[in-house]
Amino acid sequence: MILQPSGPPDTTGYYRVAYVWAALLYAGYAVLLWARGRRVWERLAASSREGQSGRDA
């Protein structure tokens, strides 16, 4: 059913909150995953460097 001249109820606030919340939720997870990946990768790179220097010595 499409908008009639009498107009629908004003429920804009709920819809805005839902859209902003969904964007924050999914983007927030992606950022968190990126941060976790970065932390693991830094530790992995440090372990590789330690292993390399151990072999060089």
Partner 1 sequence: MDASQRVPLFGPLFVVAVLGMAAAYVRAIFFTPIEALQGAAQKIYYIHVPSALSAYLALTIVALMSIVYLWLGDERADRLAESAGEVGLLFLTGVLTTGPLWAKPIWGTWWTWDARLTLTLFLWFLTAGYLVLRGAIEDRAMRARYSAVLGILAAVLIPFIHLSVYLFNTLHPMPILLKPAKPSMPNEMVVTFLGFFAACAVLCIALIRARYRYGLERDALQAIESGGEEGD
Q: Is 53 in the site for partner 1 (CB under 8 A)?
A: no
Residue 28 has, within 13 A of its CA and on its CB side, a CA count of: 6
8: helix, strand or coil: coil
How far, in whole angstroms, is CA 18 from its chain's centroid? 17
Within 2-41, the residues that bind partner 1 by CB under 8 A are 2-4, 8-12, 14-19, 21-23, 25-26, 29-30, 33-34, 36-37, 40-41
Element (H, E) at 14: helix 12-56
Residues that bind partner 1 (CB under 8 A): 1-4, 8-12, 14-19, 21-23, 25-26, 29-30, 33-34, 36-37, 40-41, 43-45, 47-48, 51
